[in-house]
Amino acid sequence: QVQLVESGGGSVQAGGSLRLSCAVSGRNVSRNCLGWFREVPGNGRWAVARIYSAGNLIDYDDFVKGRFTISQDNAKNTVDLQMNSLKPDDTAMYYCAAIWSYDCLSRSISSPLEINYWGQGTQVTVSS
């Protein structure tokens, strides 16, 4: 059984930092494409970062590029998202997801992506 469990969300002032972590069970993070998505009510759910070591891929949505860093810990089987220089527009529910590997390699991060598994989400709130 595959499970993705996020942690690390919370409230922070603009300019601050948070680190999200996704604990993965049932899948090996080093052999799967995993990503972080965010959702604001009424705006849908969009990918902000992806990592696929087997495909030599790490990429980011333009809005977070240079501020967010995705990484994986193979020993802990986790995927983390370090978020720096946070803005009020970063306020959202953040989800960890296992992405179909074919989509990871053939579609841009801004395209609709087929998701195999979702986590339950963790809220990030950035105040001005």
Give the pLDDT confidence of 13-66 residue by residue, as tens digits.
999 999 999 999 999 999 999 999 999 989 889 999 999 999 899 999 999 999
The pLDDT tens digits of the residues spanning 66-111 come to 999 999 999 999 999 999 999 999 999 999 999 999 999 999 999 9
104: how many CB neighbours lie within 10 A of its CB?
A: 23
Residue recorded with tokens 């802990």: 76
User: Which of 83, 78, 46 has its CA nearest to residue 64?
Assistant: 83
Give the burial class of 96: count Cβ atoms within 10 A of its Cβ; 0-12 exposed, 13-18 middle, 19 or more buried. Answer: buried
- 3-class state of residue 60 by DSSP: strand
* Amino acid letter, 87: K
Rounded CA gap, 55 and 64, in Å? 22
Q: Computed from CA positions of residues 41, 45, 48, 49, in that sequence, does the dihedral angle turn out positive or negative?
A: positive
